[in-house]
Amino acid sequence: MSDIKLFTLDQGKATELSGQSARLEKHLQQDVERNMPALLGVNFLASEYSTGKTHRGRIDSLGIDENNCPVIIEYKRHSNENVINQGLFYLDWLLDHQAEFRWLVMETLGREAANGIEWNGTRLICIASDFNRYDEHAVQQINRNIELMRYRYFSDNLLLLELVNARTAQINQDAQTSKTDSTASQIDTPITENKITTRGDKSQQERLAEAPPELLELYNNLCDYIESLGDEVQRKELKLYTAFKRIRNFASVLVLSGRDPRLQLYLKLPGEMAEEKDDKWMRNMSKTGHWGTGDLEVNVRTPEELEEAKQLVAKAYGES
């Protein structure tokens, strides 16, 4: 059981609040679905989604996250129910029915979102009152993107979500991209515009391969620093950028290796912070479309700028 305790302080006296599970699993599901962007950084798509007559299942919640990755969310009121295996069953179903999911995204969020799906980051979030050590060990043995989250209610208006364990899959990106392109071609005719990703965009891996040694050193230094901020930091290698998250993203890093080689960071900080700085160093992106997530753009070209940027990254991490 979770050892997290919550107290109220009244005139210096601490009183412990009693934690409890949801009265019904449906209550937990409804609370999460109504608040997915705030709680998980996920846009809600569907509830109790049917997997058809052959699979005969219902996915508790379907969404797409801030990196445009499909997300399955499964809930269990208690800890002794086999939520992980059930979620894996649905995860395999989703990867085999990409065209169906893409149509759902198009109908719910539009063509732009449907064309920008990042299949490599497809993940499963299991939310339960607790997990045991065998659950956590099993997740680390499975080559899938899986997150275990523990929940507790403290009174009617306090909900705790705690990331217990996370596994990032090692995926053959070339094979996965080939599979995705093949599936996507089934519905490419009505979807012709793509403002998020185009077939001609260079991937992050391609840009890294072209980057000068000095830029690669800055990139590796920055990534090592971000991962050292905490054990719960997750690094997600996506097609167009590298994302760092706890439960939600707090930093995205792009490697730009053209005429002006630099690292371009997008941080979950107010874009207005850029107004006092040189435009070449920081920009307010709150009203401008861009790869990655976050309103503050930070451009890093030198080791000195990298040290300044680390302070901003630490701030974004602390506020995430």
For residue 148, give Cα distances in angstroms to 11, 20, 93, 145. 37, 18, 20, 10
The count of C-alpha atoms lying within 13 angstroms of the C-alpha of 274, restricted to the half-sphere facing its C-beta, is: 21
Please enumerate in sequence order all residues whose Cβ is within 8 A of that of 279, keeping only pairs 6 or more positions apart, or say none: none
pLDDT of residue 22: 85
Name the more confident of 6 and 190: 6
87: which 2 tokens?
Answer: 């979620």
Cα–Cα distance for residue pair 57/141, rounded to 1 Å? 25
Average pLDDT, the chain: 86
Contacts of residues 44-53 at CB distance under 8 Å and 24 or more positions apart, as own/partner, are: 45/104, 45/105, 45/108, 45/109, 46/104, 46/108, 49/104, 51/90, 51/93, 51/97
225: which 2 tokens?
Answer: 């620093």
DSSP sequence for 241-282:
-EEEESSSEEEEEEEE-SSS-EEEEEESS-GGGGGGS-TTTE
Residue type, 35: N
| Alpha carbon 261 to its chain's center | 27
Tell me which H or E stretch contains 146. Answer: strand 145-154
The count of C-alpha atoms lying within 13 angstroms of the C-alpha of 270, restricted to the half-sphere facing its C-beta, is: 4
pLDDT of residue 191: 34
pLDDT of residue 288: 86
pLDDT of residue 179: 45
For residue 63, give Cα distances in angstroms to 123, 124, 239, 248. 10, 10, 19, 14
pLDDT of residue 54: 76
Average pLDDT of span 241-249: 93
198: which 2 tokens?
Answer: 């185009």
pLDDT digits (tens, 9 = 90+) for 268-300: 999 988 876 666 789 999 888 888 889 999 999
Average pLDDT of span 49-70: 90
pLDDT digits (tens, 9 = 90+) for 138-162: 888 888 899 999 999 987 789 999 9
pLDDT digits (tens, 9 = 90+) for 107-132: 999 998 999 999 989 999 999 988 88
For residue 272, give Cα distances in angstroms to 47, 239, 269. 36, 28, 9
Whether the Cβ atoms of residue 159 and residue 151 lie closer than 8 Å to each other: yes
SS3 46: strand
pLDDT digits (tens, 9 = 90+) for 172-190: 544 444 444 444 444 443 3
